[in-house]
Amino acid sequence: MTVPTIVLNNGVSIPQLGFGVYQIDPDETKDATLAALEIGYRHIDTAQMYGNEAGVGEAVRASGLDRAEVFVTSKLNNAFHAHDDAIKAFDESLERLGFDQLDLFLIHWPLPGIDVDFVETWKALEEIYRSGRAKSIGVSNFQPSHLRRLIQDTEIVPAVNQIEVHPYLTQDEVRSVNSEHGVATEAWSPIAQGMVLDDHAITGIAAEQGKTVAQVVLRWHIQRGDIVFPKSVTRSRIEENFDLFDFELSEGDMGLITALDKGHRTGPDPDRFNYIP
Ligand code: NAD
């Protein structure tokens, strides 16, 4: 099965389908990630905040794959927005992963309501990028106003903006601002942590296609051009979520799913989220 790749604005290619490890217990992360790599995933999404980077690194080594064959993303913990803290935290991520380079490193949250400045944080990420220790840098949970300010006040345009997207939160405005600036959209919680799986409109499409609801929703993301990385610790589901490339949704079905938008977030609102662990 060939997973399509997306070429980021700096020429780096990223597999459009990956494996997310949020809420995977650190003790289970190596096995779950290794299962994903055995099934064929070549893109893993972790974060300092998930506490499981070490398991991701162990799985990559245990897989026998070359490090260069697996695209690995991590994200800066909210506590480390100051310039020197960000650089130190990045180096600690590399240490935990056992890597000498990350494929993608993101500012996890913009934290607009507290006394940190994501523009200064971004300058630290620019230094990391220029040093070659991260092949690409990007942001997560940036609203259009945050993204515009970052682009105006700094030199490197983020390669991606990772935001919550699923059929109940289609995020058309943020996605279009991203693409206006050449920023790829990564869709987190692509199946809304399971919330969309009982939706009758999607159940009907899945029955017609002979696919599961999760597969239909993930396929919808792929056809919209976003990058996705569903999470599961169950091998059969990890397999199911990878099996998306032998069917296609019609324009009509794509439109039906997009019309389910109700602005419903499963996670925090980035304009109000100022959590420091
Ligand atoms: P998700 O939408 O991937 O849903 C995961 C849940 O759905 C799992 O717990 C599992 O119980 C269930 N599930 C998975 N596959 C299934 C299947 N085929 N059938 C039935 N149920 C299934 O939610 P998520 O984990 O929140 O998001 C995916 C990834 O996005 C995360 O692992 C993480 O890498 C990333 N993420 C990023 C942020 C951010 O702030 N940047 C926030 C949340 C998640």
Q: What is the pLDDT of residue 114?
A: 85
Q: Is residue 277 situated within a structural domain?
A: no
Q: What is the pLDDT of residue 113?
A: 86
Look up the domain containing 248 and give its range.
5-258
| Chain centroid, CA 94 distance in Å | 18
Q: What is the pLDDT of residue 137?
A: 99
Compute, in angstroms, the gap from residue 153 CA to the centroid of ligand 1.
33
Supply the mean pLDDT for the chain.
97
Query: pLDDT tens digits for the chain (277 residues)?
Result: 789 999 999 999 999 999 999 999 999 999 999 999 999 999 999 999 999 999 999 999 999 999 999 999 999 999 999 999 999 999 999 999 999 999 999 999 999 988 779 999 999 999 999 999 999 999 999 999 999 999 999 999 999 999 999 999 999 999 999 999 999 999 999 999 999 999 999 999 999 999 999 999 999 999 999 999 999 999 999 999 999 999 999 999 999 999 999 999 999 999 999 988 8
| Chain centroid, CA 169 distance in Å | 16
197 Cβ below 6 A of ligand 1 = yes
Q: Is residue 19 situated within a structural domain?
A: yes
Q: What is the pLDDT of residue 116?
A: 78
Cβ contact 187:226 at 8 Å: yes
The closest of 106, 110, 100 to 131, measured between CA atoms, is 100
Q: Is residue 32 situated within a structural domain?
A: yes
Q: What is the pLDDT of residue 1?
A: 73
Q: Is residue 264 situated within a structural domain?
A: no
Domain count, the chain: 1
Task: Respond yes or no: is residue 168 known to be catalytic.
Answer: no
190 Cβ below 6 A of ligand 1 = yes
Residue ID of nearest Cα to ligand 1 atom 21: 194
pTM value?
Answer: 0.98
Q: What is the pLDDT of residue 37?
A: 98
Compute, in angstroms, the gap from residue 187 CA to the centroid of ligand 1.
10
Q: What is the pLDDT of residue 115?
A: 74
Token pair, residue 210, equals: 């002979």
Q: Is residue 60 situated within a structural domain?
A: yes
List pLDDT tens digits, range 212-268.
999 999 999 999 999 999 999 999 999 999 999 999 999 999 999 999 999 999 999
Q: Is residue 91 situated within a structural domain?
A: yes
Q: What is the CATH number of the domain that holds 200?
A: 3.20.20.100
Cβ contact 160:129 at 8 Å: no
Q: Is residue 273 situated within a structural domain?
A: no
β-pair partners for 13? 7
Strand order in the sheet with 227-228: 19-20, 43-45, 71-76, 102-107, 134-140, 160-164, 184-188, 227-228
User: How far apart are the C-alpha atoms of 165 and 265, rounded to whole Å?
Assistant: 9
Question: Which atom of ligand 1 is found nearest the CA of 109?
Answer: 40
Pocket test for ligand 1, best of 14, 19, 22, 140 (most atoms within 8 A of CB): 22
